Amino acid sequence: MLNIYFYFFFAFFNFLLAVNADVTQNVFLRLYNRNGSHIDENIRNASIFLPYIQKNNFLIIFINGLNNDINSLSDKLISSAYLDTTEVNVFGLDYRNVTTQFYPFAVADISTVGKFVANALDDMVENGINPKKIHIIGHSLGAELAGSIGRQMKVKISRITGLDPAGPLYYLLNNHLSISDADFVDVIHTDMGFAGLALKIGTVNFFPNYGRRPQPGCSIELTSSCSHSRSYEYYAESIRNHEAFIGKCYSLNKCSGAEYVSMGYATPSNATGNYFLITNSKSPYGQGFAGATFNPFLVTPIA
């Protein structure tokens, strides 16, 4: 009987894949300028950005999650933090025709969108952009899209940061963000087991407040997205303050010998293992080294 349910599930999912084949028609990249302006262009014409990219600097792409678009709070926090404090090239991806769909439909479209973004980045690489200076940051469904992009590129990019990667359906599909999607994959878990994926999928995994709801200052109610959103709020703060969040290794022999590591923007690319920390209930969230602690009896065992 169970096999029948799985058959119908995958048959339905394959149907979803075929329903909306051209989801990329309205998907666009936005390049932010430091004078407050921006340039928008369809993902199919991304080569138009080449004259405006500083090739010696890193190229950052932020991808928001379900029910969001490029004008959402997550995009504003991340882009403004980078623009205010760094010289990197800052992009946002708008795929609202996907994120505003019924969730299973949105999940079904991720691979297609990922392929077109991967093609756009491959074209940029062929025109002089260093793939080892490309960093994709994704929240929720955007983290899963980041993984899809990384998997479908011709060359491996430097880094993917997963901010509480989406969980529902991804346990069954097994095509979630993974350690092999970039040279370095760091993941911040804040709502695992609910909106977020309860799997250790990164080269290094961070578990602020044990990685689950309720995050300090958030409600435990099932309808609350507060804990899920904390991941991008923590990351945005880490751009402005590199030592705001310090994680403590759960098992030192699995953490490259580093007992303490910065979470977020300043996470070193050689970091491995699982790190825990405590945050404040309101901004500024980071406690620095004072928050680098945990109770081993409160750690949720996950794969």
Domains and CATH numbers, the chain: 23-244 (3.40.50.1820)
Count other Cβ atoms within 10 Å, centred on residue 48. 13
State how far the Cα of 140 lies from the Cα of 277, in Å rounded to an integer: 21
Q: What are phi and psi of 198, to 5 degrees?
A: -95, 60
C-alpha distances out from residue 291 to 67, 227, 265, 277, Å = 32, 18, 17, 5
Active-site residue, 231 included: no
pLDDT digits (tens, 9 = 90+) for 241-300: 999 999 999 988 789 879 999 999 999 999 999 999 999 999 999 999 999 999 999 998
Burial of 111 (0-12, 13-18, 19+ CB in 10 A): middle
Taking alpha carbons only, the member of 166, 149, 172 closest to residue 10 is 172
Choosing from 75, 94, 109, 164, the catalytic residue is: 164
Active-site residue, 158 included: no
At 25 the pLDDT is 86
Q: For the chain, how big is the Rg over CA atoms in Å?
A: 19
Choosing from 228, 229, 238, 262, the catalytic residue is: 228
Active-site residue, 135 included: no
pLDDT digits (tens, 9 = 90+) for 176-207: 999 999 999 999 999 999 999 999 999 999 99
At 13 the pLDDT is 52
Inter-axis angle of helices 73-85 and 226-240, to 10 degrees? 10
Choosing from 140, 178, 231, 238, the catalytic residue is: 140
Q: Do residues 109 and 69 make contact, with C-beta atoms less than 8 angstroms apart? A: no
Residue 50 CA from chain centroid, whole number: 24
State how far the Cα of 226 lies from the Cα of 163, in Å rounded to an integer: 13
